Structure formats: structure tokens, C-alpha cells
């Protein structure tokens, strides 16, 4: 099962990916997480990506596409992947088509998670992330049991791009460049709209039934 999670910043792509990994054993390929990991190791790519991430604009296509192509060649993704945060514009969507067709693969499902922009601003400015396991919390919608601490014991931090100004720019970039991908994927019949405004468990119930339906369609 090869899945794309499409949706604006804060829609809950990472939150739903975590649940998909647990239930279906899929491998998450999250470009934003890969850039943050590269940055924490101070690699040239991580330092380059930071310039774009801090303002909320997109890292250049050739950098992201090269990274994804390399990652999708890994043996561990042969059993299925969840792309979280890629593709983000038409050029990347075409690159993905090429990468998959060259390796005899295809997408099974594109989940379009829909949430109102003002809710997204609240979700992102209140988000806290675990430094150790990457777990996601929210100061109001899902606070940790111990303040500042993940259930794994790791320290919670706020992403540099989760301030209001950068969040608004990320939402604008989404509207201009990523939202048009809904029309790109709709005709394939593989796109399913998910109402992401409900609780994470309610959203996941719909996500899981879309995955199950796509899975049985593939077998038939
Ligand atoms: P990236 O890391 O992908 O960030 P993003 O797309 O802005 O999305 P987020 O991770 O912020 O949101 P999410 O949908 O995962 O939400 P989450 O589950 O965490 O990208 C960052 C940057 O990297 C980009 O700006 C760009 O510069 C660069 N980049 C990455 N990919 C790129 C690409 N392909 N091309 C070019 N550049 C690229 O949830 C958010 C919060 O809400 C959390 O606190 C969570 O607990 C809470 N929450 C989640 N679901 C619910 C719910 N149902 N109800 C209430 N609260 C909820
Ligand atoms: Mg995310
Ligand atoms: Zn943790």
C-alpha cells in the first residue's frame, strides 16, 4: 500500500501517519522530518533547507526530489510507504510519478485531509514535539501528562517554524502551490477527502477505512 498524505500544515499528517505505521506497518517518508534530522546533524543539506523552512517557503524541488528518490529506493519501503509532506507542488508530483513508474510501482491512495485555516494556526502555534521519539503534543488539544515532557521521557520543544508569522506564510504557500494537487490527483480516482477537523481518533477511523477500501480494491 503506497499512500500520499495531502493536507495543509497542521492538518494532522504526522499524527495520522503515526497511527498508520502502528496499524499497517507502513514506512513513513516525511520530508520535513528528514530535513529537521539533517539539520540536527548540521549536514550541508540540512543547513541549506533551514533557510527555506524558517520562512515557511519550499525547499528547492531538486533537493527534495533527490532526497525522496533515494529514500524510496530503500529496501524497507518495498512493502509500502506513507509520503507525508511530499509532493507539495506540480513539479514534485510529476517527479513522484516518474520515480514510481521507473520502479514499477504506483500510488494506491491519496488522503486529502481538510481542516479550516484558523484551526490550523491554533494547532501549529500550540504544537510541541518530542526531541527523542518525535511524538506530537498540543498545549490545549493534547497536552502531555508532565509539562514539557513526552511519555517516553524526552524533552518537548517548539518547532522554529511554528510561530504565527511563519505559520501564515506556510498556509499561503500551501494555498498557492500544494492545494492545486487536489485537482491533479482527483481524476485518478485515488483521492479520498477526509474531514480532519474532528478528534485524531475519529479522523483515523475514516483514514483506516479508506486504506482498507483501497487495499481490497487492489486485491480484487
Ligand atoms: P513539514 O514538516 O512537512 O510541515 P507541514 O507540512 O507544515 O506540516 P506539519 O508537520 O506542520 O503538520 P502536520 O499535518 O504533520 O500536523 P501534525 O500531525 O503535526 O514541513 C516543514 C517545512 O519543510 C516546509 O515549510 C518546507 O520548508 C520544508 N519541506 C518539507 N517538505 C517539503 C517538500 N516536499 N518540498 C519543499 N519543502 C518541503 O499536527 C499539528 C498539531 O495539531 C499537533 O500539535 C497535533 O497534536 C495537533 N493535532 C493533530 N491532529 C489533531 C486533531 N484531529 N485535533 C486536534 N489537534 C490535532
Ligand atoms: Mg508533520
Ligand atoms: Zn518522546
Residues 23-78 have pLDDT tens digits of 999 999 999 999 999 999 999 999 999 999 999 999 999 999 999 999 999 999 99
User: pLDDT (tens digit, 9 = 90+) per residue, 123-161?
Assistant: 999 999 999 998 899 999 999 999 999 999 999 999 999
Rounded CA-CA distance 219/199 in Å is 31
Tell me the domain boundaries of the chain.
2-26+79-219
pTM greater than 0.85: yes
Beta strand ranges found along the chain (DSSP E): 2-6, 27-30, 81-84, 109-114, 127-130, 136-138, 156-157, 191-195
Ligand 1 pocket test, pick from 19, 31, 71, 95 with the greatest ligand atom count within 8 Å of Cβ, gives 31
Ligand 1 pocket test, pick from 32, 111, 117, 195 with the greatest ligand atom count within 8 Å of Cβ, gives 32
Closest Cα to atom 48 of ligand 1: 12
From the CA of 53, the nearest ligand is 1
The conformation of residue 176, written as its DSSP 8-state character, comes to I
User: Is residue 186 flagged as an active site residue?
Assistant: no
CATH number of 2-26+79-219: 3.40.50.300
Amino acid at each position: 500500500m503506497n499512500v500520499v498524505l495531502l493536507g495543509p500544515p497542521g492538518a494532522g499528517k504526522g499524527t495520522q501517519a503515526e497511527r498508520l505505521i502502528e496499524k499497517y506497518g507502513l514506512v513513513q517518508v516525511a520530508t520535513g522530518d528528514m530535513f529537521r534530522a539533517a539539520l540536527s546533524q548540521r549536514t550541508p543539506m540540512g543547513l541549506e533547507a533551514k533557510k527555506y523552512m524558517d520562512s515557511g517557503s519550499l525547499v528547492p524541488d531538486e533537493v527534495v526530489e533527490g532526497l525522496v528518490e533515494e529514500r524510496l529506493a530503500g529496501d524497507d519501503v518495498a512493502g509500502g510507504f506513507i509520503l507525508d509532506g511530499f509532493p507539495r507542488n506540480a513539479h514534485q508530483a510529476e517527479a513522484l510519478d516518474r520515480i514510481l513508474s521507473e520502479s514499477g510501482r504506483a500510488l494506491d491512495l491519496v488522503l486529502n485531509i481538510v481542516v479550516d485555516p484558523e484551526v490550523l494556526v491554533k494547532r501549529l502555534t500550540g504544537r510541541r514535539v518530542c526531541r527523542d521519539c518525535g511524538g506530537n503534543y498540543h498545549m490545549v488539544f493534547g497536552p502531555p501528562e508532565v509539562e514539557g515532557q513526552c511519555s517516553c521521557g524526552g524533552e518537548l520543544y517548539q518547532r522554529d517554524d511554528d510561530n504565527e508569522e511563519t505559520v501564515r506564510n506556510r498556509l499561503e504557500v500551501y494555498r498557492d502551490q500544494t492545494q492545486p494537487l487536489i485537482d491533479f490527483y482527483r481524476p485518478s480516482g485515488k483521492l479520498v477527502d477526509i474531514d480532519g477537523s474532528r478528534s485524531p481518533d475519529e479522523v483515523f477511523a475514516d483514514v483506516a477505512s479508506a486504506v482498507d477500501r483501497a487495499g481490497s480494491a487492489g486485491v480484487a
